[in-house]
Amino acid sequence: METRTIGSLEVSVVGLGCNNFGWRIDADATAKVVDAALQDGINFFDTADIYGATKSEEFLGKALGRRRDQVVIATKFGGKVDEQRKGAKPAYVRSAAEDSLRRLGTDRIDLYQLHMPDPDVPIEDTLGALDELVRAGKVREIGGSNFSIDQLRSAQAAARHGARFVSLQNEYSLLHRDPERDVIPECKRLKIAFLPYFPLASGLLTGKYRRGQPAPDGSRIGTGGHFAGMLSDQNLATVESLVAFAESRGHTLLELAISWLLSRPAVSSVIAGATTPQQVKANAAAAGWRLGPKDLAEIDAIVPGP
């Protein structure tokens, strides 16, 4: 599989999002998914301390075992684990890192990301603690997630001579193109890797949701709640147009969703979740379509950018 860089890290252009570990799948199923990822050339694994109520990191570490040195592990802190463990105060940054290292069973985190800005803590304080972790060899590179352009600029200005963000992970897909307005151009200007999450719009861009048909049993969108609103007539109509575009060229919607993201400026790796080895294999194989200018113009006509 093709690789690109995130700071000093070399990563596969398709990464494995580990948010399902410990929530939708157990340790045994996680091991099968991780094995499939490695077999298909994926070396980039993205997790967080809050995924699976901390089980995701634990399951990932156990699944990798002695193969840890073959991969790049990204994790996150700052989300609410419980009432005591949350936020981005320097003391908590240090303790959260130690907790993640222990759960992952490793001596360093390759990419340590602030899961979301903490409005109660100056970013320079958080960056100072992260810089200490980098200098101690416990973290190799640092990044942010869910940052606006102003928050990203503030973080880069506050870094001064210490460790600075080499990546930004925000939601981005064919159905959510807002980052193109300002964040992605800023990442390109600052030479920061952009990492899309929800690249398949929580499954909507896999093609398994169609107008007039019920959502598949057990699917994320089918469970309702936060994701239910995605099954709008407008979204489903757009999906049908994208399916027709892809199939007319001998490709699937999944291949279109991932290859399109990899054609975008600043994108280094597309983080796609999976609950089965078959999904991993499909995601890994989807990155090979090289979209030309005419293709991209036709896609813009179906789903205009901001």
Q: Which residue has the tokens 């790796």?
A: 269
Q: Which residues pair with 142 in a beta bridge?
A: 112, 165
From residue 192, alpha-carbon distances to 37, 100, 188 in Å are 25, 24, 6
DSSP 3-state of 270? strand
51 labelled catalytic: yes
* Backbone torsions φ then ψ of 43, nearest 5 degrees: -120, 0
Residue 10: which residues within 8 A CB-CB, separation 6 or more?
A: 3, 4, 72
b/e map 237-276, b = 16+ CB within 10 Å: ebbeebbebbeeeebbbbbbbbbbbbbbebbbbbbbbbbe
**CA distances (Å), origin 252, targets 30, 233, 260:** 26, 21, 12
Closest by Cα among 170, 178, 176, 168 to 197:
170
The DSSP code sequence of 74-100 is: EEEE-S-SSSSS-S--HHHHHHHHHHH
Q: Which residues are catalytic?
A: 51
